[in-house]
Amino acid sequence: DTAVSQTPKYLVTQMGNDKSIKCEQNLGHDTMYWYKQDSKKFLKIMFSYNNKELIINETVPNRFSPKSPDKAHLNLHINSLELGDSAVYFCASRSVGTGELFFGEGSRLTVL
């Protein structure tokens, strides 16, 4: 009964590969996010979707493409992976009432 779940939790891959991270929330929230946490623990917003529509797209390389098939899912696809993409990627969804973000457990991506 995990509220926000991400898969995979860990991903190790070679430069140049394409990979995807999936996210699902069972909280009934309309808004979902992807955040990137770098090696210095800094958390930066990447994308935000509201009811399957993109509403925030920060300065992120276009190798990153989010997809929201329905409001409970927000997947992140990354093409042509680079060393600098190594990070922990967090999915989150937002409660309308409190504004609180509920986070997944994060997906640690390591690019070799």
Partner 1 sequence: AQTVTQSQPEMSVQEAETVTLSCTYDTSESDYYLFWYKQPPSRQMILVIRQEAYKQQNATENRFSVNFQKAAKSFSLKISDSQLGDAAMYFCAYRSANAGNMLTFGGGTRLMVKP
Binding site for partner 1 (CB under 8 A): 31, 33, 40-45, 48, 50, 55-56, 88, 90, 92, 94, 98-103, 105-106, 108
In the complex, the smallest distance separating the C-beta of residue 68 from partner 1, rounded to whole angstroms, is 15
H/E segment holding residue 24: strand 19-25
Quote the CA–CA distance of 28 and 85 in Å, as a whole number.
Answer: 30
**62 Cβ partners below 8 Å, 6+ apart?**
none
Q: Closer to partner 1 by CB, 71 or 80: give it.
A: 71
Angle made by CA atoms 50, 75, 9, in degrees to the nearest 5: 125
Q: Closer to partner 1 by CB, 42 or 112: give it.
A: 42
In the complex, the smallest distance separating the C-beta of residue 67 from partner 1, rounded to whole angstroms, is 19
In the complex, the smallest distance separating the C-beta of residue 7 from partner 1, rounded to whole angstroms, is 14
Closest CA to 74 of 37, 99, 102: 102
In the complex, the smallest distance separating the C-beta of residue 101 from partner 1, rounded to whole angstroms, is 6
Q: Closer to partner 1 by CB, 79 or 108: give it.
A: 108
Q: Closer to partner 1 by CB, 18 or 53: give it.
A: 53
Identify residue 99 by its one-letter amino acid code. Answer: G
Q: Please tell me what DSSP assigns to residue 83.
A: G
